[in-house]
Amino acid sequence: MTLRATDALLRALHAHRIFPKYNAPPPAAGGYGWLRRGDDLLLRGRPLRLEERAGLYGGPYKPLVGGHKGSGLCSIGSFSYSYSALPEGMTVGRYCSISSGLRILDSSHPTGILTTSAISFRPRNRLFEGIATARLEAFAAAFDVIGGKAMPMLEHDVWIGANVTLAMGVRIGTGAIVASNAVVTADVPPYALVAGNPAAVRKLRFAEPLAAQLLASRWWEVDPRFVFDLDFTQPAAVCERLLCDDAMPRYEPAVLLLAPDDKAASDDAAAALADQEITV
C-alpha cells in the first residue's frame, strides 16, 4: 500500500514533533527533513503508530540484497530516535537511542532444499535465463525472503550502538544496551549489556532486584516532567517513589496513525491535526 507524502502529512508529522532529521525545522518548499512532497511511501503490514516527540533521521530503508525496501517510517514511541533507517515492521518503544549503521538480516536463502542457490527463488536472474523450470517458478512465487519472521522489536530505554546487526524476530528488552558492532541473534534480557558476534550478555546494568523494580515501576509511562523532577541519578529512589504513589501523572502522548488504503492519502485525510489520534 502506498502513502503519498502530502503537505498535510508533512504538517501532521511536524505538529506531532516527529522529526525526519535532527531538530528539523518546519516544513518548507515542499520538504521536511528527508521527506519531500509527492514521495510515495510504500507501507507494508499493519498500520504504523508514531507517538509524538520521536526522531526518524535515517531516511528510506534499504534492506539487504533481496529484501524489501521501506519508507523509513515505523511504529515508534516518544523520546526515541534513530540515526539508522528503520523498516516499517520494526517496533520501537519509548526513550530508545539507535545509532548509525544498524542492519537487519532481512534476506535469506532456503536451507532445507537441494540447494541454497538463488536459482530456486530468483529464476528471473539472467544467470539462470532459459533454464528456469515451472517448478522453480512456483517455488520462487511462494518463497518468503524474510523467512516468515517478524522484524526486530525494541522495548523501552534501549540503546543500540553503531554498526549493530539484528537478526529477524529478536526482541531487545527494556533497559538493554547493545554494544557497537554486535551481531544479535537471540532475544536480549532487560537491563543486559550485550556485545560480540554472536552477541552475549557481558554484564547487567543493575542488580536483578533493582532491574525488577524498574520494570515494575513502568517509569516510561509516567509524565516525564514528574519523573525527571525526581533524583533520576538514583534509580532505586525513583522506583520507591513510583511504586508507592498511585496518583502519578500518566504520560499520554498524541499519536499519529498511518494506515493508508490502496490509494494515496489526500490532504483531507490528514487535516484534523488537533485530534489525539489521527489516521492519515
Among the candidates 129, 144, 159, a domain finishes at 144
Q: Give the whole-angstrom CA distance, residue 94 versus residue 155.
A: 7
Instruction: Please confirm, yes or no, whether 16 is among the known catalytic residues.
Output: no
**212 domain residue, yes or no:** yes
How many structural domains are present in the chain? Answer: 2
**233 domain residue, yes or no:** yes
Report the candidate in 210, 222, 211, 270 with the shortest Cα–Cα distance to residue 246. 222
**266 domain residue, yes or no:** no
Q: Render each residue's pLDDT in the chain as its tens digit; 280 residues.
A: 778 899 999 999 999 999 999 999 999 999 999 999 999 887 876 789 999 999 999 999 999 998 888 999 999 999 999 999 999 999 999 999 999 999 999 999 999 999 999 999 988 899 999 998 999 999 999 999 888 889 999 999 999 999 999 999 999 999 999 999 999 999 999 999 999 999 999 999 999 999 999 999 999 999 999 999 999 999 999 999 999 988 889 999 999 999 765 333 333 334 433 343 434 4
Amino acid symbol at 8: A
Amino acid symbol at 81: Y
Point out which residues pair with 6 in neighbouring strands.
Answer: none
Q: Give the whole-angstrom CA distance, residue 186 versus residue 202.
A: 14
- Which pLDDT value is given to residue 124? 85
Q: Is 213 helix (H, G, I), strand (E, B) or coil?
A: helix
Which helix (H) or strand (E) covers residue 210, if one does?
A: helix 208-217
**123 domain residue, yes or no:** yes
90 neighbors 74 (Cβ within 8 angstroms): yes
- Which pLDDT value is given to residue 260? 60
**220 domain residue, yes or no:** yes
Give, in degrees to the nearest 5, the angle at Cα 211 between 208 and 214.
155
User: The whole model's pTM is what?
Assistant: 0.89
Among the candidates 93, 118, 144, a domain finishes at 144
Query: What grid cell was written down for 48?
Result: 504504523
**130 domain residue, yes or no:** yes
Q: Give the whole-angstrom CA distance, residue 84 versus residue 180.
A: 13
Q: Give the whole-angstrom CA distance, residue 8 versus residue 3.
A: 12
Q: How far is CA 70 from the centre of its chain?
A: 11
Rounded to the nearest 10 degrees, how much is the dihedral formed by the CA atoms of 108, 114, 117, 121? -60
* Helix %, strand %, coil % of the chain (to 5): 20, 25, 60
**4 domain residue, yes or no:** no
Among the candidates 91, 120, 144, a domain finishes at 144
Q: Is 95 helix (H, G, I), strand (E, B) or coil?
A: coil
Q: Is 185 helix (H, G, I), strand (E, B) or coil?
A: coil
Report the candidate in 98, 100, 103, 99 with the shortest Cα–Cα distance to residue 87. 103
**263 domain residue, yes or no:** no
Domain containing 213: what range?
206-253
Cα diameter, the chain: 72
User: Active-site residue among 16, 68, 109, 156?
Assistant: 109
